[in-house]
Amino acid sequence: MRDLIVIHEHPEWQKPLFQALTARGVDFGVFDLKSAAFSEVDAPHARVYFNQASPSAYTRGNTRAVPLGLAFMEDLEAQGVRVLNGARAFRFELSKIFQARTMARLGIDHPRSVAFNDVRALEARAAEVGFPAILKPDLGGSGARMYKVESVAEVAHLLSTQPELWLPDNLLILQEYLPHDAPGRGIVRMEFLGGELLYAMRVRSDGAFNLCPSEVCNPADGEDGMCALPTEVPKMAPVFEPYPEVPAEAVATAKRLVAAGHLDVAGIEYLETPDGRRVFYDINANSNLRRPVAEAFGFDPFERVVDFLVREIERAKG
């Protein structure tokens, strides 16, 4: 019986966490979702499990990781095992339309969204979103397969010429397009740990959709990342800057989303439009922390995560 098992499918993302756990002497193992199996009679192998699976697994050829990961977490929780960012949190992350519904229920400004599985069905609802709009997978995933579109006809053309855009689950979103990337502004991403703000940062780009904060994806030295999306040809790499002045009202709104999603660790993103709206648009359960930004606030984010995990292990020991 180990103290901790980390559920994941992207070992490069996990290296800083694994190094911090090893340095602290935590007895941990891994459950790699790329190739895995479990049965209904298996006993848990750790006191605490930490889910670090990502919806973007399909962009790396690991489409099978997500359904197995969700089933595995539900099986663990049925046995009473503590799973951090467990099945409810993972389900919340896996559907942009469910995130939109949650924000609508909470009265949080968000992009209007319509989910669809057939362009003919979209035709009758597209006016609710308007154009230009963003076409994206309901599953999300590091900005993958996102397009700015000007009409239903353009959506139809994209899907007829690139039918792979329906993958991995044949459910797409047409979402309100919100101009936001004014010079020096960009979007704001807040990282939460145990329900509290860890740090906030501004992320600026030339309109690229892949704003993953992991240094594996967007290295601090500006070199090409390991999970760069081939559909993007940005004029500049995203710039990540500490944002200590994040408004208290934005933090309070994000905390409501963290609680609603049952998120133990989370990255919450919002943007500010030229007409003064603060629009929350992305909720991430797999929170790829950016060490240089946290160090600007005076700490190592992975050490903070290990502190949190050690507390959860002690709770599980009783």
17 CA to centre of own chain = 17
pLDDT in tens, 142-197: 677 899 999 999 999 999 999 999 988 999 999 999 987 655 678 999 999 999 99
Tally of CB atoms within 10 A around 311: 11
Residues 166 and 191 in one domain: no
Distance CA(92)–CA(94), nearest Å, equals 6
84 class by beta-carbon count within 10 Å (0-12 exposed, 13-18 middle, 19+ buried): buried
What is the pLDDT, as a whole number, of residue 102? 98
What is the pLDDT, as a whole number, of residue 147? 94
- Given 150, 176, 202, the domain boundary residue is 176
Residues 197 and 287 in one domain: yes
What is the pLDDT, as a whole number, of residue 232? 46
Give me the CATH number covering residue 205: 3.30.470.20
Residues 285 and 227 in one domain: yes
**C-alpha closest to that of 177 among 149, 208, 205:** 149
Distance CA(5)–CA(18), nearest Å, equals 11
Helix and strand counts by DSSP (H, E) for the chain: 9, 13
Give me the CATH number covering residue 28: 3.40.50.20
Residues 262 and 213 in one domain: yes
Domain that holds residue 131: 112-176
What is the pLDDT, as a whole number, of residue 236? 62
In a domain, 78, yes or no: yes
pLDDT in tens, 274-304: 888 999 999 998 778 999 999 999 999 999 9
In a domain, 100, yes or no: no
**C-alpha closest to that of 141 among 13, 55, 209:** 55
Q: Copy the structure tokens of residue 159.
A: 């899907």
In a domain, 125, yes or no: yes
Residues 294 and 191 in one domain: yes
Q: In what order do the strands lie in the sheet with 187-193?
A: 239-242, 196-204, 187-193, 265-272, 278-284
In a domain, 107, yes or no: no
What is the pLDDT, as a whole number, of residue 230? 46
In a domain, 55, yes or no: yes
Q: What is the DSSP string of 9-36?
A: S-HHHHHHHHHHHHHHT--EEEEETTS-
Residues 264 and 232 in one domain: yes
- Given 176, 198, 222, the domain boundary residue is 176
Residues 249 and 294 in one domain: yes
Residues 8 and 57 in one domain: yes
Distance CA(21)–CA(25), nearest Å, equals 6
Residues 138 and 196 in one domain: no
In a domain, 105, yes or no: no
Residues 160 and 203 in one domain: no
Residues 124 and 216 in one domain: no
Distance CA(281)–CA(99), nearest Å, equals 8
In a domain, 99, yes or no: no
Q: Model-level pTM?
A: 0.91
Spans of the chain below 70 pLDDT = 142, 181-184, 206-236
Residues 155 and 210 in one domain: no
174, 116 Cβ separation under 8 angstroms: yes
Number of domains in the chain: 3
Distance CA(309)–CA(291), nearest Å, equals 18
Q: Copy the structure tokens of residue 108.
A: 């949080």
Q: Please work out, in degrees rounded to the nearest 5, the angle formed at the alpha carbon of residue 289 by the alpha carbons of 284 and 294.
A: 130
In a domain, 24, yes or no: yes
